Amino acid sequence: MNNLTTIDTSAAGSTAFYQPQGNEEALFMHAYEHQLPVLLKGPTGCGKTRFISYMADKLGLPLHTVACHDDLSASDLVGRHLIGDGDTIWSDGPLTRAVREGGICYLDEVVEARKDTTVVIHPLTDDRRILPIDRTGEVLEAPDNFMLIVSYNPGYQNVLKGMKPSTRQRFLSMSFDYLPSAEEAAVIVHETGVDQTIADRLVALANSLRELKDQDLEEGASTRLLMYTATLIAAGFEPLQACRAGMIEPLTDDAQTIVGLMELVQATFGTE
């Protein structure tokens, strides 16, 4: 299980801060009540995972998050026999655990996973809501409070990776995007404690960087990166230095692009 990242969050604790973008909360509640699986689309770091944590807290459900990667196979999700000293022990994967215990199973960036994983989740997404486990001969029926959520970023271009229409059509889908400037700045102020002017400038800078997507950058600056940068500034780092480490360097490796972007940072923040 060493190639699997799962984060299990218990329902206890304070509710995470979340800034709604539209009616996603109502849609999510409806999906939960009617036991429908949900697909979240949107660019990296725009708040998909945050939204799920928030809803899990709100509904008091345990959250099983699986960060999918290109080595993730069906047995990583379902579970496997581990060989001990003289005997074998069955070990549940995160999906099986979620189906047994109830709660939200969130497959983050699901298209990154191997193709055989989609075969496993299909019977959980239709009205049967079952998880057959060939190895143990079990067929688990999902409890009422089980919910399957998957997310992916349609912006990434890869010839062999994409979601098949047949899979896509099994989910209730919601699109996420970066928050409007004022709200994004408010989130940054709330989360990091930087002053409003800094937050506004950071968001303005991020919007400029997002404009460069596809031409100069592979991906625009995410709210998460803004948050990192704001944290650095709040901790006393120079804004130029913080932007470089928190936003510019993570976005590109191209030396000339970095020079150009740093000029942009300087035009926005310049403190000479």
* CA triple 230-67-188, angle to 5 deg: 15
CA distance 167 to 170: 6
Position 266 contacts other proteins (CB under 8 A)? yes
Nearer to other proteins, 78 or 188 (CB): 78
x-marked contacts with other proteins along 227-256 as a string, rule CB under 8 A? -----------------------------x
Nearer to other proteins, 19 or 208 (CB): 208
CB of 2 vs other proteins, minimal distance in Å = 6
Pinpoint the alpha helices (H) of the chain. Answer: 24-33, 48-59, 74-78, 94-101, 116-125, 165-168, 181-192, 196-211, 223-234, 239-243, 249-251, 255-269
CA distance 95 to 78: 6
**Of residues 164-223, those binding other proteins (CB under 8 A):** 208-209, 211-212, 214-218
- Residue 33, token pair as written in the block: 């009540």
Partner residues linked to 82 by β-bridges = 89
**Of residues 81-120, those binding other proteins (CB under 8 A):** 82-83, 85, 114-115
Lookup result for tokens 């230095």: 241
SS3 for 40? strand
CB of 215 vs other proteins, minimal distance in Å = 5
CB of 218 vs other proteins, minimal distance in Å = 6
Contacts with other proteins by CB under 8 A lie at 2, 70-71, 73, 75-76, 80, 82-83, 85, 114-115, 157-162, 208-209, 211-212, 214-218, 256-257, 259-261, 263-272
